[in-house]
């Protein structure tokens, strides 16, 4: 596998790992960095971009859900359970790298109609931090 194919594989793996589908892109990142140590920054950027876009796809899924008021009218009761995300807003998405919880946070952010640019920023920051820690541990 050449450098370009390795980066493409890393992008696809990191994108899918951030969606509601299971997967772990960390092992792919480690493999790329062991095979191509010169790709430290490109691999870190590609993994962050793919994982951020995957997180934003979960955000979009949340945006497609009816808003809380419309849902409350349809089911006849108030929807609870998102106060933590609601109170903290976009910064909570820094934790979007966490397994399972991160997916829920991204969907919740979309459902709560948190500003997409703020959401993307905090999702990217959290995912970059995680990948940087992994990559730095290898070097």
Residues 60-110: tens digit of each pLDDT: 999 998 876 665 555 444 444 466 778 889 999 999 998 878 888 998 899
CA distance 109 to 91: 10
Number of domains in the chain: 1
Instruction: Kindly tell me the burial class for residue 57, based on how many C-beta atoms sit within 10 Å of its own C-beta (0-12, 13-18, 19 or more).
Output: middle
Give per-residue pLDDT as tens, 20-30: 676 789 999 99
When pLDDT is averaged across residues 5-31 and rounded to a whole number, the result is 90
pLDDT of residue 100: 79
pTM for the model: 0.88
Range of the domain at 11: 3-138
User: Cβ distance 62 to 107 under 8 Å?
Assistant: yes
């Amino acid at each position: 596998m050449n450098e370009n194919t390795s980066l493409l594989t890393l992008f696809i793996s990191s994108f899918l790992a951030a969606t509601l589908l299971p997967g772990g892109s960390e092992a792919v990142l480690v493999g790329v960095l062991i095979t191509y140590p010169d790709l430290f920054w490109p691999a870190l950027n590609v993994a962050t971009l793919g994982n951020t876009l995957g997180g934003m796809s979960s955000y979009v899924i949340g945006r497609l859900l009816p808003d809380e008021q419309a849902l409350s009218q349809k089911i006849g009761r108030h929807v609870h359970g998102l106060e933590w995300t609601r109170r903290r807003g976009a910064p909570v998405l820094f934790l979007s790298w966490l397994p399972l919880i991160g997916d829920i946070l991204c969907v919740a952010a979309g459902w709560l109609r948190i500003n997409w640019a703020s959401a993307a920023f905090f999702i990217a920051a959290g995912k970059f931090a995680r990948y940087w820690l992994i990559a730095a541990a290898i070097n």
